[in-house]
Structure 1
């Protein structure tokens, strides 16, 4: 109630009533001065106070109406500005104010529109820089692929190839000794089995190292679904995934969002002890909305935000795209991550 009477509309009404009070005092003092000094016949004490009372009643109604109307218009314009600030805080920099009055409030609105354009240009610049970094990363990736191929070829030659050669030699020797020295042939066959097992272990290590970490050209929804399917096979977590099919975002945004989801799931698997995880990704009003929640043990956000490298990485990736990153968590009540990215 107190906040309501502190609004602009009631402040205008109070200012009108204050002006009314001062006017009544001045009128009363003027009429009483005329009565005392000149003592005109037409001016009496009853007439003075009757005039003041009538004036007070009429002016009171006029003051309330005028203050309510003028204050209401001003309140509407300030509410419009407040809504605009909220839109900026949520990352919607395309919203604009349109006032025709030409006063100081209109000037503030025009400056806010200029600020919105500057922020929007900054977001585009950030996304353009992210695209450039993505291109550089792709070029670096190609170089890394060539180096990795050389390394794999080296490993195949140094480890697997030599083991296969040894396996061949032991096999040929065992075949020759099979009739003459069965015991020696058995020992050689055991060496063959050992060499084959070692070769298989080396090949599994190489294949695991070649497992893709990025989207590798897949759409965002398929990449996340594939990642979740792999995690479901290795854990008992119930994943509930909801991703819109009509996401119209750049490859850079898809890559960053995929890595954010990947980092979030990594944190959940390592720290949360959760049994249920929700992933919801959708687009609305030129924004990409990402929600990741779990029912795990939670933590104190302020105590862990600075210490957690994973949270810092997720926040930095969101801000690189001009987005906002919010995390809510408390002990035994789960953790919820909400990200808004303009697109």
Structure 2
């Protein structure tokens, strides 16, 4: 039995009880009247007859009005139920018609207003999704263009110039090797040094281009993999200890991974370091990242050599609410300290 049938039965029961109560009330009233008028001869038979006749008439009327009222009410409730079903199926343009101004009419009008509101919200969400998609596409294009320009600039400023120097030195060595082997030997040492430096530059660029997707790993596993690859491809000695990196948000993991990646890239390209220490620990509501190297160092105020990479790391740290600090001194290495609230 559905809810509308239950309502119909309730209405029929209400009208039936009203008819029975009215008949009983009439019977009692008639008995009191006959008793007070001292007409005992016809009191019982007449009262029973009139009561039965009244009960029959009231029952017929209760069935008629009960059916009529319940049919109208059932139809209006069915309309509201159908309207809700249409909304749930996604047909937000549907509306329920109601000319009555009773409670069901007010409910139907409110449901129409609600459908209009939902329809407008859906349109707004679709518009926002389109705008977000367009902005994401533009941002991706701008990021790709910026990265291409940066890589082109880095290649021109470092590897391209080093390759040019290698070409010039190797030509000079070929000319000197026949009549001045000592000079040729010195030139070849310069060639080897520049080639080693160019190799470091290329490894740093390839490290920077390494995808940040953690591929289902947590950040600790991804960093261990990254460091293992660097140890296999370079002579750099890396000491690492990663603690307190559990339950980080995806955004924090991504930025933290990129900061460490950028710092290693800078070390490979500029520091001439042989040893790097990377540690993390959680203490008093903060995750602290510490990176140090034993390289040549630089003046953080005057040097522009690594300003782009350092600025990028600082911006990433600020985006996750962290505090980024760097200390460096010529011939004494570089030290990076990052504190992130977790």
TM-score, normalisation: structure 1: 0.45
Task: Give 1 or 2 for the bigger CA radius of gyration.
Answer: 2
